[in-house]
Chain A
């Protein structure tokens, strides 16, 4: 982008006066206001701050205004064998199992960052959680990885470094049988991971560094389950299979009794489609809105569930551009689009 060179001072008082003489008088129409020659001197970094506040559709139209420096994301994403492991206010954390690295990215703006390297022994057997330091993305974020042996590290984006704050307390039973199909849930700086043996949750407080264990009996006949969150409430989503009937159920954690209480089920008529079939479910997104991918041998259904309204919706199948077949969704994550979140 060829604009004001760095170091060039803003217009002098004299230049501004000359400008003002030819300027339109105050107008109530903001669109008329923009028709001025002064914008050619507008500093590039301020221009970016303005662009970031445009409506999303306008932002994407303006991508054709000029080239920006090629981001690492576009080429790197083709090369990494990755798993989306954490989400936090517009940012997604990827774990590259093959090349052993962590990446944080804003999928909307494609700002991308590779985190400093770690020496983790078994990359495919770690759970990852992500939490914000404050209310907004600019207050920074923390990423935690934890392994089955109780080893863990925390990355702080403000300091751009990993630390090993301590050891897991003896109250947490080891080995830590983490549920790797379940995403971690973040609630106001607390990260929750699902575990078994014993069934329940482990939590990590990112401000105090304290780990806790909660023993919570799992509902019977449960499979393909994951935890989710909505307005501070911790939920459990999973398949309930009894005899030949399969249903998607939603439970809410009763914090006082540490029990899962069933609060909703997928409409019966949709469940009938899977009667007698072996079903697998993947849950994409675990905050507020869930997308469930339900697969049996001949079938692939996408359903969304709104945790706050209890609304179930069928979603059209995912077909790639120029493709004809519906895609089988192996894994994915949801994120809240945020133009100003920086990786």
Chain B
């Protein structure tokens, strides 16, 4: 028996389901992609969180990539303020520096409502 102190049973069961599918001899790439879509579809945020940590700890590249991509997809339309608040990040930029950055990468704000969350 191998103890895995950082992963709970439910997350481990999900990881094993993923690995079983991805190590099937006759599963095509298309079938695996479809499985990943269904596997991650509507995944609760707590589950995504645990899956990211588990995949990282167990060094399962494919799962880690899929889960991180899913988390990134959930963030892509968020504002800078939302990211700071959600991840509890303190900004050391002065307001002048922030204005400067916004100017330097103005193209990245095109079509984006800066107040949108």
Instruction: Find out whether the CB atom of A54 lies under 8 angstroms from the CB atom of B109.
Output: no
Q: How far is the CA of A87 from the CA of B37 in the complex (A)?
A: 34
B33 interface residue per 8 A CB criterion: no
Q: Nearest Cβ in chain B — how far from A249, in angstroms?
A: 35
- The answer to whether B42 has its CB under 8 Å from any CB of chain A is yes
At the interface, yes or no: A57 with Cβ under 8 Å from chain B?
yes
How many chain-B residues does the 8 Å CB contact rule pick out? 47
Task: Confirm or deny: A53 has a beta carbon within 8 angstroms of a beta carbon on chain B.
Answer: yes
Partner of B80 from A34, A36, A38, A64 at Cβ < 8 Å: A64
From A35, A47, A53, A57, give the contact of B69 (CB < 8 A): A53
- Nearest residue (CB) in B for A64 is B101
Complex contacts, B53 vs chain A, CB 8 Å: 10, 43, 46
Helix, strand, loop or mixed for chain B's interface? Answer: helix
- Distance A50 CA – B53 CA, assembled complex (angstroms): 12
**Once the chains bind, are B50 and A46 in contact (CB under 8 Å)?**
no
Closest to A43 in B: B53
In angstroms, how far is the closest chain A Cβ from the Cβ of B33?
17
Contacting residues, chain A, for B105 (C-beta < 8 A): 60-61, 63-64
| Nearest B residue to A49, CB-CB | B68
- The bracket for how many chain A residues form the interface is 35 or more
Is A40 among interface residues, defined by CB-CB distance under 8 A? yes
Known: A26-B44, A46-B56. A61 touches B91 (CB 8 A): no
Write out the residue numbers on chain B whose beta carbons fall within 8 Å of the beta carbon of A257: none
Q: Which residues of B contact A23 (CB under 8 A)?
A: 44-46
Q: Say yes or no: is A309 at the interface (Cβ < 8 Å to chain B).
A: no
> A62 CA to B92 CA in the complex, in Å?
14
A34 touches B86 (CB 8 A): yes
Query: CB < 8 Å: which of A16, A33, A57 contacts B45?
Result: A33
Contact A39 B87 (CB under 8 A): yes
Contact with A along B77-104 (1 / 0, CB 8 A): 1101001101111111100001001100
Chain B residues near A269 (CB-CB < 8 A): none
A240 to B33, CA, bound (A): 50
| Complex Cα–Cα for A1 and B90 (A) | 6
CB <8 Å contact, A34 and B75:
yes
Quick check: A3 and B89 within 8 Å, CB to CB?
Answer: yes
B108 and A60 contact, CB distance less than 8 A = yes
Q: A66 touching B89 by the CB < 8 A rule?
A: yes
Residues of B within 8 A of A67 (CB): 91-93
Asked if A270 is at the interface of the complex by the 8 Å CB criterion, the answer is: no
Q: How far is the CA of A49 from the CA of B84 in the complex (A)?
A: 17
Q: Which residues of A contact B41 (CB under 8 A)?
A: 28
Q: Residue of B at shortest CB range from A53?
A: B72
User: Counting CB contacts under 8 A, is B16 at the interface?
Assistant: no
Q: List 9 A-B contacts (CB under 8 A).
A: A23-B44, A30-B74, A31-B78, A40-B87, A46-B53, A58-B76, A61-B80, A61-B108, A65-B83
Q: Which residues of A does B touch, CB under 8 Å?
A: 1-3, 9-10, 13, 16, 19-20, 23-28, 30-31, 33-36, 38-40, 42-43, 46-47, 49-51, 53-67
Query: Which B positions have Cβ atoms within 8 angstroms of A?
Result: 6, 8, 41-46, 48-50, 52-53, 56, 64-65, 68-78, 80, 83-84, 86-93, 98, 101-102, 105, 107-110, 112
